[in-house]
Amino acid sequence: MADEAERAGRKGLAKWVYPKRDYKKLINFLLSTRLHLILCSRAKQPIEERIVQIDGKPEKTLVTLPWEPIQDKRLKYEMTIVLPMTLDGAYEADQNRLKAPDDLAHLFAGELLTEATGAAIAEWVKGGRPVDHALELFRREAFEAASAGTEFFTKWWNRAPVKARRNLLRRDLDNLASVARAANAEAEREREARDEAGRREADAEILANPFGGRLAFNPGATSREPARSA
């Protein structure tokens, strides 16, 4: 989507305006869906330049860092379980890289994932309370309102039907506020990108026609009023 926007003439931040907006809508939808989801992502292995001491002298060296998903960094905080997979079908068991609820941590000590792993996760899920579908729809409506920014969310939050059910969203309130603030920040970036695109277009027009709509100097004019270009 960003490449298409760039081909259409939008550069820099401007080309990311619509892709980021739609990505945000997707994440909000996933957070409010009734389904249990398994998300997979491509990964990259960053290489970082660092200064190390060799024989008492600082020297630059390249350090290979752990694999990271090619994805928004905040997404992993929304997941119940995060397993950084390796090329041989295993996964990283480092507690600083692995994320799992305490009740499931014993399933990810390094052993390969099997059907038994999935069955244990399913049993853990069934141990919770039954899903309140009306509440999930209400939560989805709340996240959609928050994705429109703080002003819109505040108006939605203060509507009479919502006031009566506010307490149901107590656990989601921090996330909702974060989503609304992020929407504001994204809207501000979009505005800046549009302003920058407008300035570039204006500059391009001036460069293409320096005298378009400007006062033109006419040495043969006898009037005190300067001649104007057509």
What are 178-214's pLDDT values in tens digits? 888 888 888 887 788 778 777 877 887 788 877 765 5
The Cα–Cα gap between 149 and 151 comes to 6
Q: How many CB atoms lie within 10 A of CB 119?
A: 10
Mean pLDDT of 125-145: 81
What sections of the chain are H helices per DSSP?
2-7, 17-32, 115-126, 133-146, 150-157, 160-163, 173-208
User: Are 159 and 85 members of one domain?
Assistant: no
Q: How many CB atoms lie within 10 A of CB 121?
A: 19
The Cα–Cα gap between 151 and 181 comes to 10
- pLDDT for 219 equals 52
Q: Is residue 225 part of a domain?
A: no
The three-class DSSP label of residue 215 is strand
Q: Is residue 120 part of a domain?
A: no
Residue 10 CA to its chain's centroid (Å): 19
- pLDDT for 160 equals 92
- pLDDT for 220 equals 53
| Token pair belonging to 217 | 């100097």
pLDDT at 225 over 80: no
Q: Is residue 226 part of a domain?
A: no
- pLDDT for 117 equals 93
The Cα–Cα gap between 67 and 42 comes to 10
Q: Which residue range forms the structural domain that includes residue 182?
A: 1-34+131-214
User: Are 135 and 192 members of one domain?
Assistant: yes
User: Are 23 and 48 members of one domain?
Assistant: no
Q: Is residue 118 part of a domain?
A: no
Task: Report the number of distinct structural domains present in the chain.
Answer: 2
Q: Tell me the residue ranges of DSSP E strands in 3-132.
A: 43-44, 47-54, 57-64, 68-69
User: Are 12 and 45 members of one domain?
Assistant: no
User: Are 169 and 144 members of one domain?
Assistant: yes
User: Are 163 and 186 members of one domain?
Assistant: yes
Mean pLDDT of 215-228: 50
Q: How confident is residue 80, by pLDDT bands cut at 50, 70 and 90?
A: confident
- pLDDT for 218 equals 53
Q: Is residue 92 part of a domain?
A: yes
pLDDT at 131 over 80: no
User: Are 19 and 43 members of one domain?
Assistant: no
User: Are 205 and 155 members of one domain?
Assistant: yes
The Cα–Cα gap between 103 and 72 comes to 27
Q: Is residue 82 part of a domain?
A: yes
pLDDT, mean over the chain: 82
Close Cβ partners of 228 (under 8 Å, ≥ 6 residues apart):
215, 216
AA letter at 143: F
pLDDT tens readout for residues 144-179:
898 889 999 999 999 999 999 999 998 888 888 888
Q: Is residue 230 part of a domain?
A: no
Could you tell me which of 206, 212, 183, 173 has the C-alpha nearest to residue 27? 183
User: Are 26 and 45 members of one domain?
Assistant: no
User: Are 142 and 205 members of one domain?
Assistant: yes
Q: Is residue 123 part of a domain?
A: no
Question: What's the whole-model pTM score?
Answer: 0.53
State the DSSP code for 15: G
Q: How large a percentage of the chain has pLDDT more than 90?
A: 16
The Cα–Cα gap between 91 and 111 comes to 9
pLDDT tens readout for residues 6-40:
888 888 878 888 888 888 888 888 887 778 899 99
